[in-house]
A and B are shown apart, each in its own frame.
Chain A
């Protein structure tokens, strides 16, 4: 009797051991290669987002996760971006890093992802949700303040300006305006003549700028709150032969903007750090997958550059990112 009892005990033990070692074996075999992070940005092809992609890929390489980078070709194609998030959910991505085209429209789909236990990390442009807690991007209020300071440095503390904003109601837009006005409020002699919205379109910005120049011939500067507005304004200034007369303080550092900066058409740019956004977005997504605590807000910083400081060694990488071995998208003339 005792023998039978002992044998059954040992058999049970053996089964338990096999089970445990099986589990152990599985957990060993499951490598981090299988982790798949979906990075969905506002615009797949714009230079800014290319650098975000570089950061994401660098992080993917460092943490050994698969990165799929996607985004609409048009920043205003909200529907397409929602579809992309839906696809990521359907593909059972382990995490989604999102730069939202719209802070309201993407809330529902982000919540759906969260309900399926897929962590959502927002970068650059967040969404209005209490549930999506992590935001990695530029402190836009701070960037706005820097923009104002750059204006004072380049144009002076007594001037008339037009603010070239982009989409009224967009979080980043409002925050940059807020920061800008915070700085400008300290200078009584700076007069904001008008605030115009280019709807994140270069042509619109160009046309609006032409109108503005005709309307207010005595303005000293245009402050661009994003790359499209700044580029459009610069184009209009060249077209209207106002280079030097109307100064431009802008945002971001597309190759086009950089060229204008070097040719003194744009006097100052506030540059973000898209590489860090991509890198940290993936890094924190990876940590979220591993259930580690991640910070709610990460400021990737912004830097003011001008014609000279953009060649400082610490700024060169921000202004002239490597892109896939092609050192510069601009062509040698």
Chain B
């Protein structure tokens, strides 16, 4: 199962080429950008939310301050009016007509005053403005505030908005300010109570006209937490809406978060001087959120566009980077199939340019080497063929057969059989079933056969010795490398000598090489000729008896087969002799 899954994943991987440079660049670039965009968006969002919230709180506070200021001045004006009435009463004998005038003027100036009343201690109306049919059902003496003022006349008492019951048939909503006044008649203190009723709709309008967002509103509570004003007072009395008035009551002026309705709201509390009221402004956080939603959408939009743009950009950038690499890749594929006639157009970024250049150089080198190998192989074949041809040189064969015939005529039959056997061995080893590599033992056998034949030809003109480290006999060597050297030694070294020539052959190991050494005591070779020996084509200047294959051939064959560090070394001193060193690897094929 897991194997299947792995296989599938691998297929997808291969199909999508997720590891291709282009995709790696695109993916990593995209993810990095995505992360960056996310961080930027989130921090932007928070920044905006915070500032939006702060702004909302500040503006709510400013609005509440304004309302509070208005209410304060409203209350202060009420108190002023109350004081005017009071001051006209405190004079020892007050004139009812004068007071009536004052009330009339005040009522004319202040349209928001509904009623001004002066009550006697017993609750009778001494004077009122306007004058009307008093509500008989309304007993002012039973009211708490009236009793309170009789005891402490100097106090101001605010009555929360209520329905006025002063007149029959008239029930306006009013806010009342009541205060007692004491004056003395015949040394007797008499307490009067003044009441100023102001139209509540003014306060209502003050609160209603402010806008705390679309849904925000203001409500007012008195010092006991009773609702003085609420835009949906009916709902509150009906229990369909609740307000966290007690919480607001305990709060110091300021802004707080409130979620008692389950919705996050900002509650701003502010005191109204004198009256003991508190204004509470409610604004809804989700209206900010609506703004925030808009902002979110905006950010999202920008982010999406940025991501789209970024994907596109990274795609093109990665394509630009990877295109030369891909080109290189396809060219390499072609190379794999053996097509060397390719050259990458060198362009792209710095590294890729270098890579392309190196690739081109490499291809050129490979191509050159390939050609070299081909020519070398050809040469190898050619020189081998030459070496082989040398073995069946007709001249040599003729001379040898001539020697055999001559021996036969002299009835030297033993000599004949030796010669024939040697000749047969010579050719057997030369051919050696087409193998190029033979053992050192065979190579020496081949040389011995050759020397046997040549010794018969040349009589006692020379002697030879073979000195071999027997452990090396089984080592391998390129065939037919000693014979041409020895042929040279016989022809140019020992045969022109008047005394007996000596050819020494030795095989020894020299560190990781095997050293064949062929030395003669001939005339030696002059340095001029020596320097040309390995360069010159076949040294067949002496015609007869020469195999026609020179030292150069041997040298080249060794180098082709084993490498440049192997081959021939010719040391010669005129009148002393010549030594040819042949080196092949110890572990040669």
- Of B165, B200, B215, the residue contacting A63 (CB under 8 A) is B215
- Interface pair B168/A330, CB less than 8 Å apart: no
- Interface pair A273/B173, CB less than 8 Å apart: no
Q: Which of A242-259 contact B (CB under 8 A)?
A: 255, 258-259
Provide the residues of chain B in CB contact with A91, threshold 8 Å: none
Provide the residues of chain A in CB contact with B215, threshold 8 Å: 61-64
B133 at the interface (CB under 8 A from A): yes
Q: In the complex, what distance in Å separates the CA atom of A25 from the CA atom of B295?
A: 10
- Chain A: which residue is nearest B226 at the CB level? A313
- Interface pair A20/B304, CB less than 8 Å apart: yes
Q: Which of B343-401 contact A (CB under 8 A)?
A: none
Q: In the complex, what distance in Å separates the CA atom of A28 from the CA atom of B299?
A: 12
- Interface pair A279/B240, CB less than 8 Å apart: yes
Interface of chain A, helix or strand or loop or mixed? helix
B333 at the interface (CB under 8 A from A): no
B72 at the interface (CB under 8 A from A): no
- Interface pair B305/A10, CB less than 8 Å apart: no
Q: In the complex, what distance in Å separates the CA atom of A311 from the CA atom of B304?
A: 62
- Of B171, B205, B237, B319, the residue contacting A258 (CB under 8 A) is B171
- Chain B: which residue is nearest A65 at the CB level? B214
- Interface pair B170/A276, CB less than 8 Å apart: no
- Of B200, B237, B239, B304, the residue contacting A327 (CB under 8 A) is B200
A168 at the interface (CB under 8 A from B): no
Question: Would you list the 7 A-B pairs with minimal beta carbon distance, nearest first?
Answer: A275-B234, A327-B172, A28-B297, A327-B173, A21-B301, A314-B237, A64-B214
Q: Count of chain A residues with Cβ under 8 Å from any Cβ of B?
A: 51
- Interface pair B232/A279, CB less than 8 Å apart: yes
Q: Which of A1-56 contact B (CB under 8 A)?
A: 3, 6, 10, 13-14, 17, 20-21, 24-25, 27-28, 31, 55
B377 → chain A closest CB, angstroms: 43
A332 at the interface (CB under 8 A from B): yes
- Of A58, A273, A311, A330, the residue contacting B165 (CB under 8 A) is A311
B130 at the interface (CB under 8 A from A): yes
Task: Using A258-B171, A325-B205, A327-B173 as known contacts, say yes or no to A300 and B238 having CB atoms under 8 A apart.
Answer: yes
A60 → chain B closest CB, angstroms: 10
Mark B154-198 against chain A: 1 for CB-CB distance below 8 A, else 0: 000000101101011111111000000000000000000000000
Specify which of A313, A317, A326 lies most central, judged by the most chain B CB atoms within 10 Å of its CB.
A317
B527 at the interface (CB under 8 A from A): no
- Interface pair B304/A61, CB less than 8 Å apart: no
A216 at the interface (CB under 8 A from B): no
Q: In the complex, what distance in Å separates the CA atom of A316 from the CA atom of B305?
A: 59
A108 at the interface (CB under 8 A from B): no
- Interface pair B162/A316, CB less than 8 Å apart: yes
Which of these binds chain A: B96-104, B307-315, B412-420?
B307-315
- Chain B: which residue is nearest A21 at the CB level? B301
- Interface pair A262/B238, CB less than 8 Å apart: no
- Chain B: which residue is nearest A24 at the CB level? B297
Provide the residues of chain A in CB contact with B162, threshold 8 Å: 311, 313, 316
- Interface pair A24/B135, CB less than 8 Å apart: no
Q: Which of B221-270 contact A (CB under 8 A)?
A: 226, 231-235, 237-240
- Interface pair B293/A322, CB less than 8 Å apart: no
- Interface pair A321/B171, CB less than 8 Å apart: no
A333 at the interface (CB under 8 A from B): yes
B517 at the interface (CB under 8 A from A): no
Mark B113-136 against chain A: 1 for CB-CB distance below 8 A, else 0: 000000000000000001011010
| Sample of 30 A–B contacts (CB below 8 Å) | A10-B308, A10-B312, A13-B308, A17-B305, A20-B304, A21-B305, A24-B297, A25-B297, A55-B235, A61-B214, A62-B217, A263-B168, A276-B234, A279-B232, A279-B234, A279-B240, A301-B238, A313-B160, A313-B162, A316-B163, A317-B233, A317-B234, A318-B234, A318-B237, A322-B201, A325-B205, A328-B172, A330-B169, A332-B130, A333-B170
Mark A284-323 against chain B: 1 for CB-CB distance below 8 A, else 0: 0000000000000000110000010001011111111110
Q: In the complex, what distance in Å separates the CA atom of A326 from the CA atom of B171?
A: 11
Q: In the complex, what distance in Å separates the CA atom of A307 from the CA atom of B168?
A: 12
Interface of chain B, helix or strand or loop or mixed? mixed
Q: Which of B284-337 contact A (CB under 8 A)?
A: 290, 293-294, 297, 300-301, 304-305, 307-308, 311-312, 315, 319
Task: Using A62-B215, A63-B215, A332-B132 as known contacts, say yes or no to A276 and B235 having CB atoms under 8 A apart.
Answer: yes
Provide the residues of chain A in CB contact with B235, threshold 8 Å: 55, 58, 275-276, 279
A300 → chain B closest CB, angstroms: 7
- Of A24, A31, A279, the residue contacting B301 (CB under 8 A) is A24
Provide the residues of chain A in CB contact with B132, threshold 8 Å: 332-333
Q: In the complex, what distance in Å separates the CA atom of A63 from the CA atom of B215?
A: 6
A12 → chain B closest CB, angstroms: 11
A280 at the interface (CB under 8 A from B): yes
Q: In the complex, what distance in Å separates the CA atom of A30 from the CA atom of B216?
A: 21
**Besides A64-B214, A258-B171, 12 other A-B contacts (C-beta < 8 A):** A3-B319, A10-B308, A17-B305, A28-B293, A263-B168, A318-B237, A320-B173, A325-B204, A327-B173, A327-B174, A327-B199, A332-B130
Specify which of A58, A313, A321, A326 lies most central, judged by the most chain B CB atoms within 10 Å of its CB.
A313
- Interface pair A332/B168, CB less than 8 Å apart: no
B471 at the interface (CB under 8 A from A): no
Provide the residues of chain A in CB contact with B308, threshold 8 Å: 10, 13-14, 17
- Interface pair B240/A280, CB less than 8 Å apart: yes
Q: In the complex, what distance in Å separates the CA atom of A258 from the CA atom of B170?
A: 10
Provide the residues of chain A in CB contact with B233, threshold 8 Å: 317
B137 at the interface (CB under 8 A from A): yes
- Interface pair A262/B130, CB less than 8 Å apart: no
Provide the residues of chain B in CB contact with A186, threshold 8 Å: none
- Interface pair A328/B137, CB less than 8 Å apart: no
- Chain A: which residue is nearest B300 at the CB level? A24
- Chain B: which residue is nearest A301 at the CB level? B238
- Interface pair B171/A333, CB less than 8 Å apart: no
Q: In the complex, what distance in Å separates the CA atom of A259 from the CA atom of B238?
A: 23
A34 → chain B closest CB, angstroms: 13
Provide the residues of chain B in CB contact with A10, threshold 8 Å: 308, 311-312, 315
Provide the residues of chain A in CB contact with B312, threshold 8 Å: 10, 14
Q: In the complex, what distance in Å separates the CA atom of A173 from the CA atom of B211?
A: 42
A274 → chain B closest CB, angstroms: 9
Provide the residues of chain A in CB contact with B294, threshold 8 Å: 28
B30 → chain A closest CB, angstroms: 12
Q: In the complex, what distance in Å separates the CA atom of A321 from the CA atom of B201?
A: 11
A272 → chain B closest CB, angstroms: 10
Q: In the complex, what distance in Å separates the CA atom of A63 from the CA atom of B240?
A: 16
- Interface pair B319/A328, CB less than 8 Å apart: no
Q: In the complex, what distance in Å separates the CA atom of A3 from the CA atom of B290?
A: 43
- Interface pair A273/B238, CB less than 8 Å apart: yes
- Chain B: which residue is nearest A58 at the CB level? B232
- Interface pair B237/A6, CB less than 8 Å apart: no
Q: In the complex, what distance in Å separates the CA atom of A61 from the CA atom of B282?
A: 14
Provide the residues of chain A in CB contact with B135, threshold 8 Å: 262
Specify which of A63, A263, A316 lies most central, judged by the most chain B CB atoms within 10 Å of its CB.
A316
- Interface pair A273/B234, CB less than 8 Å apart: yes
Mark A92-105 against chain B: 1 for CB-CB distance below 8 A, else 0: 00000000000000
- Interface pair A328/B173, CB less than 8 Å apart: yes
B291 → chain A closest CB, angstroms: 10
- Chain A: which residue is nearest B230 at the CB level? A317
Provide the residues of chain B in CB contact with A20, threshold 8 Å: 304
- Chain A: which residue is nearest B287 at the CB level? A64
Provide the residues of chain A in CB contact with B205, threshold 8 Å: 325
Provide the residues of chain A in CB contact with B297, threshold 8 Å: 24-25, 27-28
Provide the residues of chain B in CB contact with A317, threshold 8 Å: 233-234, 237
Provide the residues of chain A in CB contact with B231, threshold 8 Å: 58
- Interface pair A333/B168, CB less than 8 Å apart: yes
